[in-house]
Amino acid sequence: MELPFDINLENRVAVVTGGSGVLGSVLCESLAQAGAQVIILARNKGKIDRVVERIKQNGGKAYGYSVDVLNKEDLETVHQDVLSKVGPCSLLINGAGGNSSKATTDGERLSLDDLTDQNQQTFFDLDPNAVEGLFNLNFLGALIPTQVFTKDMVDQEQATVINISSMNAFRPLTKIPAYSGAKAAISNFTQWLAVYFSKVGIRVNAMAPGFFLTDQNRDLMFTEDRELSDRANKILSQTPVERFGKPEDLVGTLLWLVDHRSSGFVNGIVVPIDGGFSAYSGV
């Protein structure tokens, strides 16, 4: 990968939750290329190992842990192992998250016919347990790792937390009320943390990606014939740059936010990286 600009993260330890995914893995690789020792936390060990191996093949340093970000006890165990192997964390990227089909409506708007259609999942049919699980993954999945790893950062120079929000936090999408709400919570939490940590030297900001093609949404974006779906075409029609984001589109913002020389006075912001989607009114 060619970085958009050079920063020096040598001797810095970067912990990335959700670091084995399509977007998270690119964030991990870019941090490693800038010199950081990257700690990848995710669930799927096979995916983790592949990212670690790519980083090592390119001359970087990386370690992987299969762990549930909602299990504080297991995270504390990982934390102690990281301390013993590479030292204290100075960069934390909270990238773990996801959506659930059981917390998603089939239609964009409710019609009277929907109420008698047994094949339609309406707002009234959303599974409260799925909504709770989604909020836990997206919100507690950022809060708990922050509790564990920012202990290392207190009064440390150039310590930074970056949360991964979403442009859904600015403008909620149809069909996914729980996911949109959870990401709005992440943006609010980012601002709260930035104030709370302001006297101990920890900056907290967030990145809010727009529409990027990932393993999670690929089936929604394409038909069985590999044509763009109606929803995908609707998304592109509301995105001024008229394309989906590429994982590499996140790297410049990430490097800017973690580099104290570039953004040392930037604290408590949420940066949309969405091709203008959140700015476009549709007319």
Query: Which residues are CB-neighbours of 240 under 8 A, at least 6 positions away?
Result: 275, 276, 277, 279, 280
In this prediction, residue 223 carries a pLDDT of 79
Structure tokens at 240: 């001024």
- 13-101+128-210+246-271 falls under which CATH superfamily? NAD(P)-binding Rossmann-like Domain (3.40.50.720)
Answer yes or no: are the C-beta atoms of 258 and 9 closer than 8 Å: yes
Active-site option among 65, 179, 196, 280: 179
Radius of gyration in angstroms for the set of CA atoms belonging to the chain, rounded to a whole number:
19
Entry pTM: 0.94
What pLDDT, in 10s, does the model give residues 131-188?
Answer: 999 999 999 999 999 999 999 999 999 999 999 999 999 999 999 999 999 999 999 9
What average pLDDT does the chain have?
95
Mean pLDDT across the stretch 67-71?
A: 98
Question: Chain-centre distance of CA 261, in angstroms?
Answer: 24
- Residue 179 annotated in active site: yes
pLDDT tens-place string over residues 53-62: 999 999 999 9
Domain ranges of the chain: 13-101+128-210+246-271, 213-244
